[in-house]
Chain A
């Protein structure tokens, strides 16, 4: 081993320069993964670090549609060190101008916030919210002032009450972000809502009890006591272990996905690693032959070069880690400002270890094949001019090692992504794409060979003839160019096609079919009046209403509902409140797939209709029972049937529908969907505001717009992450081209000797790269289209539309990348005098 080490060092000395591609490829892949991991780590740590502020205390207990009962409240006050009650709901804010807008209203008590402080642009919160001259004050985010054209001092309408706008919120410690915000914040004191007509039982509001724990108490102990004392309250519990579960989940999801995209960069880098290793070993053929002739065993030969590869891998990874950890650290201050969530930038060893592990496995995986082949180099190469080596196979040991490395890589992807399907699918996709491009290279070569022998096609076109012969001939760079560009272009193309289709779907079908408004919180007694007003307005094409309650699934078949026991894609069903409704007849557009609907006048045991897809995912069957906590009371209903709905119709769709008698008695409000042409939103908002001040109007088209923007932003993030793959691909391309350069220079010299003009040679080179770049782009577009087709038609059940702009972009990029690379290298080829080139070969 010592001998191998010494030989390795001697060999590597002075050849580091020829490993620039190897190092760059590895470094880029590792850096992109490390950077994504570091940013994710920073956000997660930021959320954790600001946990108490985000949570508003040590623990938050949330109720839906109701306040804590006096005895519940009393218990909390006794057990906690301090307690604050915060109410959140959506409300319509009326401006003096008559304009109305949706806001997220937060009503706070005198002790809010228990942790941190709300800062206003001017003044203090307490003073701003206090009652002055019979009017309570409110503070709002600037967006609300902008939307309604408000200025400080204006009187706002909230329900039936008047609120004086007294300040602009600069920061709110417990403002949770994530997903789509339905309107800016308005903060008032709870006292201000007295007599507003809002917060009636059954309207859609949440109460949050934030508390700090007494010295020596723990969240676990507190939760235990709470469960014992008030088992049926239906609290949603949240503590510092995950103060912002929604955001954490979103960040982790996106982070996981972006890391996988980074893996694509590594895979492309692997192609570069493989090519660089092979090139290096080919240059060392004589050395290897000599080593063998001098009596070195095959094992020793492999050891010598394996050590070199591992050293290089370590260097490449180190460079990648420094960049991947350093860039987020440097950009930290800027990023922190831009991010909607707190982030704590630093060095996250876990993220770096993940990146390093991926880098090491990829490099070894891709270097091992050429290494194993080198082992088979016979000493006889010294005496024979081996231009093209025969098709030998590595020995079984190496094949097994290769398989083991691959399995480890797949295992790591699954382990780090925490999801067999995402990690597994992604790796499978990478492998399929790599194989597809390798096959495509063979097909392109085959076609080029055929065409180059087609006398009619190539006669009088020597440039085309040369280009085709070069693409089709042995040892051509066709495979290298295809693999280098392929993955990056495929990623871009796939993102482009999916993004375009999703956004098209949202802007087209969904927006066309969508209602103009969702109205929430229509008090039950006003429901008929509401419908009458709507039907009297000629702009309104249609109105649907349904009673609406919210409840949380707490039990399945008499046992506690445990998210761990159901399949991951259905866990969200148990995570928060779900809307539910009751109906005597099947809602419009329903198809029963199993079971029966109940008779219209049914009053027996509560029955429920469940959407089949979610039901099956949760492992439910017709006849099972579901327990839902509604307004602090448990309702157990038996599943009478499964039904199917077309989710894209943004009408009223509840996962769970019960028979009327089961829920009618609970206090509740109604929701309505109002269909009207675009442009009517402003007038209709004002129209309903007059008679139904507590009804909340959600402008659907605006939400759709924002969803589309959000998808666009996500696509941009993925595009950004795939830049690493493209960059890596370019470097591999340059490496491949540089490796082929000597051969092309020599060929050019020979061709000049035979009478080729410079223009012919230049045209041949350009054509060669143009054809290769186009072929790679073509396949990338095809794969992207296929992936997008699958997603659009299978997942979203919509019609797939080929996104031409994305295809053109991908095609253009492929062609430009190859042409620029080719142009750079071809200049020398054209300039060189044949004698120089030919002499150096003698």
Chain B
């Protein structure tokens, strides 16, 4: 048996808020195999984003263990986690989260530059061309439309060929047609590299394109259905 891409065991997340601690995820276990595409659906506030943040090691679990390719997050310090993300993960957010002081090209080249790779700009340019933005490389995020910004974000998340792609409602801020084109790109990029994809979405139809659909409610996994074909 191969090591799963992501394995969560009895994970709980409690966050402090002004009104006191809030339990967000309860004793949650989930195993995602390499190359799987997983859609996570569920009502607003059910903990989808929180789950994704944990997978991306952007947040530490209150209890339980999270592993990616057998590497336990709990045993790594922040910098190790950062390097792990840099080498293994690409993350896409609903609000794009581009760095406003950097051009499209610069945004995309950051992961490569952080890794000290040669030819960062050339690779970034190629990635932007792949998402159809070859002509907009020197534009700042503020000079791009929402759809274009999200394509830059996609290029940035995939430029270093991550083994895991995490996407949190990547089309949530976009209109239908634009959103659809982003999704095509996302699945296309995933298909090119055989990356493991975890996609949080409200859209049942979109989730259905994934090989597996995890349904959440109230911080728990309600159902977990694998497509028969897979």
Q: Which residues of A contact B (CB under 8 A)?
A: 385, 387-388, 452-453, 455, 458-460, 462, 465, 469-470, 472-476, 743, 746-747, 750-760, 833-836, 838-839, 841-842
Question: B89-121: contact bitstring with A at CB < 8 Å (1 yes, 0 no)?
Answer: 001011101111110001000110111101011
Q: Is the CB of A473 within 8 A of B100?
A: yes
Q: Which residue of B lies closest to A752 (CB)?
A: B82
Q: Does B141 contact A (CB under 8 A)?
A: yes
Q: Is the CB of A842 within 8 A of B94?
A: yes
A760-B102 contact in complex given A473-B140, A838-B93, A842-B94, C-beta closer than 8 Å: no
Is B56 interfacial (CB-CB < 8 Å)? yes
Across the interface, which residues of A come within 8 angstroms of B100, CB to CB?
387, 473-475, 743
CB distance from A487 to the nearest CB of B (A): 26
B49 on the A face (CB < 8 A): yes
Q: A747-B101, A841-B97, A842-B94 are in contact. Are A753 and B116 (CB under 8 A)?
A: no
> A754 contacts which of B78, B110, B140 (Cβ < 8 Å)?
B110
Separation of A479 and B71 alpha carbons in the complex (Å): 45
Contact, CB under 8 Å: A462 / B97: no
Q: Are B59 and A753 in contact (CB under 8 A)?
A: no
For window 50-93 of B, CB contacts with A under 8 Å fall at 53, 56, 58-60, 78-79, 82-87, 91, 93
Known pairs A473-B101, A753-B58; A465 contacts B113 (CB<8 A): yes
B181 part of interface (Cβ distance < 8 Å): no
Q: Are A755 and B97 in contact (CB under 8 A)?
A: no
Q: Are B99 and A747 in contact (CB under 8 A)?
A: yes
Q: Given A460-B116, A755-B111: A833 and B79 within 8 A (CB)? A: no
Q: Is the CB of A754 within 8 A of B102?
A: no
Cβ contact of B113, chosen from A385, A458, A473, A474, cutoff 8 A: A458
Residue of A nearest to B105 (CB): A453
Q: Cβ of B141: which chain A residues have Cβ within 8 Å of it?
A: 387
Q: How far is the CB of A306 from chain B (nearest CB, A)?
A: 28
- B99 & A750 in contact (Cβ 8 Å cutoff): yes
Q: Give 24 A-B contacts (CB < 8 Å), ordered by A residue.
A: A388-B142, A455-B120, A458-B113, A459-B113, A462-B116, A474-B101, A475-B100, A476-B101, A750-B98, A751-B99, A751-B110, A752-B58, A753-B85, A753-B97, A754-B85, A754-B114, A755-B115, A756-B110, A757-B83, A759-B79, A833-B58, A834-B58, A836-B59, A838-B58
Q: Is B156 an interface residue (CB 8 A)?
A: yes
The chain B residues found within 8 Å of chain A, CB to CB, are: 49, 53, 56, 58-60, 78-79, 82-87, 91, 93-95, 97-102, 106, 110-111, 113-116, 118, 120-121, 140-143, 146, 156
Nearest 7 Cβ contacts at the A-B interface:
A755-B86, A473-B101, A387-B142, A835-B59, A757-B79, A835-B58, A388-B142
The reply to whether B95 and A841 form a contact with Cβ atoms under 8 Å apart is: yes
Task: Compute how far the CA of A835 lies from the CA of B60 in the bound complex, rounded to whole angstroms.
Answer: 9
A462 touches B114 (CB 8 A): yes
Q: Is the CB of A469 within 8 A of B101?
A: yes
| Chain A hits for B86, CB < 8 A | 754-756
Q: Point out the residues of chain B lying under 8 angstroms from A842, CB to CB.
A: 49, 93-95
Which of the listed residues B79, B114, B118, B146 has the most CB atoms from chain A within 10 Å of its own CB? B114
Enumerate chain A residues within 8 angstroms of B53, measured Cβ to Cβ.
835, 838-839
- Chain A residues within an 8 Å CB radius of B111: 754-755
Enumerate chain A residues within 8 angstroms of B82, measured Cβ to Cβ: 752, 755-758
CB of B78 within 8 A of CB of A758, answer yes
Q: Are B60 and A388 closer than 8 Å at their CB atoms?
A: no
Task: Give the residues in chain A near B60, CB-CB below 8 Å.
Answer: 833
Residue of A nearest to B78 (CB): A758
B156 interface neighbour in A472, A475, A754, Cβ under 8 Å: A754
Alpha-carbon distance between A181 and B106 when the two chains are bound, in angstroms: 68
Which residues of B sit under 8 angstroms from A476, Cβ to Cβ?
Answer: 101
Say whether A459 contacts B58, CB under 8 Å.
no
* Least CB separation from A839: chain B residue: B49
Main secondary structure of the interface of B (DSSP, over half): helix
Residues of A within 8 A of B118 (CB): 459
Q: B101, A470: Cβ atoms under 8 Å?
A: yes
Scoring B84, B94, B102, B116 by chain A CB atoms within 10 A of each residue's CB, the highest score goes to B102
Q: Find chain B residues with CB under 8 A from A473 CB.
A: 100-102, 140
A731–B39 alpha-carbon span in the complex (Å): 50
Contact of A755 among B59, B87, B106, B143 (CB under 8 A): B87
**Using Cβ atoms and an 8 Å threshold, which residues of chain A touch B84?**
755
Closest to A831 in B: B78
**What residue of chain B has the Cβ atom nearest to residue A760's Cβ?**
B114
In the complex, what residues of B have CB within 8 A of residue A759's CB?
Answer: 79
Given contacts A469-B102, A473-B140, A474-B140, 7 further A-B contacts (CB under 8 A): A473-B102, A750-B99, A751-B99, A752-B58, A753-B58, A757-B78, A760-B114
- Please indicate the chain A residues that have their CB under 8 angstroms from the CB of B94 in the complex: 842
A387–B99 Cα distance when bound, in Å, is 12
Residues of B within 8 A of A459 (CB): 113, 116, 118, 120
Taking CB atoms, residues of chain A closer than 8 Å to B116 are 459-460, 462
Q: Which residues of A contact B97 (CB under 8 A)?
A: 746, 750, 753, 838, 841
* A833 adjacent to B140 (CB under 8 Å): no
B92 CB, nearest partner CB in chain A, Å: 10
Closest approach, in angstroms, between the C-beta of B137 and any C-beta of chain A? 11
Given contacts A462-B114, A469-B106, contact A755 B58 (CB under 8 A): no
Q: List the B side residues contacting A838 at CB < 8 Å.
A: 53, 58, 93, 97
Residues of A within 8 A of B120 (CB): 455, 459
Complex Cα distance A754/B98, Å? 11
**Cα(A460)–Cα(B115), bound, Å:** 8
Residue on A nearest B160 in the bound complex, by CB: A755
Which of B59, B60, B97, B118 has the largest count of A CB atoms less than 10 A from its CB? B97
Determine the chain B residues whose CB is within 8 A of the CB of A755 once the complex forms: 82-87, 111, 114-115
Which B residues lie within 8 Å of A754 (CB)? 85-86, 110-111, 114, 156
Write out the residue numbers on chain B whose beta carbons fall within 8 Å of the beta carbon of A388: 140, 142-143
Residues of chain A within 8 A (CB-CB) of B87 are 755
Contact B56 A753 (CB under 8 A): yes
Q: Shortest beta-carbon distance, A414 to chain B, in Å? A: 42
Query: Taking CB as reference atom, which chain A residue is nearest B93?
Result: A838
Expressed in whole angstroms, the Cα–Cα distance for A750 and B58 within the complex equals 10
CB contact between B91 and one of A455, A460, A753, A833 (< 8 Å): that residue = A753
Q: B187 → chain A, closest Cβ, in Å?
A: 22
Cα distance A385–B174 when bound, in Å? Answer: 13
List, in ascending order, chain B residues with CB within 8 A of A469's CB.
Answer: 99, 101-102, 106
* Chain A residues in 8 Å Cβ range of B114: 462, 751, 754-756, 760
CB-based nearest B residue for A753? B91
Q: Nearest B residue to A834 by beta-carbon distance?
A: B58
User: Which chain A residues border B85 with CB–CB below 8 Å?
Assistant: 752-755
In the complex, how many angstroms separate the beta carbon of A549 from the nearest chain B beta carbon? 75
A839 to B142, CA, bound (A): 20
B101 cross-chain contacts in A, Cβ below 8 A: 469-470, 472-476, 747
Contacts of A455 in B (CB 8 A): 120-121
Q: How far is the CA of A756 from the CA of B115 in the complex (A)?
A: 9
User: Once the chains bind, are B99 and A833 in contact (CB under 8 Å)?
Assistant: no
In the bound assembly, the distance between CA atoms of A453 and B120 in angstroms comes to: 11
Q: How far is the CA of A474 from the CA of B91 in the complex (A)?
A: 25
Residues of chain B within 8 A (CB-CB) of A835 are: 53, 58-59
Nearest-neighbour CB distance to chain B for A134, whole angstroms, equals 92
Which residue on chain B has the smallest CB distance to residue A471? B101
Which A residue sits closest to B102, measured CB to CB? A469
In the bound complex, CA of A752 to CA of B146 (Å): 23
Shortest distance in angstroms between B168's beta carbon and chain A's nearest beta carbon?
9
Shortest Cβ distance from residue A744 to the other chain B in the assembled complex, whole angstroms? 10
Query: B93 to chain A: which residues have CB within 8 Å?
Result: 838, 842
In Å, the complex CA distance between A753 and B107 comes to 12
A475 to B97, CA, bound (A): 16
A760→B82 CA distance, assembly (Å): 11
Please measure, in the bound complex, the distance between the C-alpha atom of A465 and the C-alpha atom of B86, giving whole angstroms. 17
B69 to chain A, nearest CB (A): 16
Min CB gap A479→B, angstroms: 13
CB distance from A158 to the nearest CB of B (A): 79
CA distance A354 to B100 in the complex (A): 44
Distance between B142 CB and nearest chain A CB, rounded to angstroms:
4
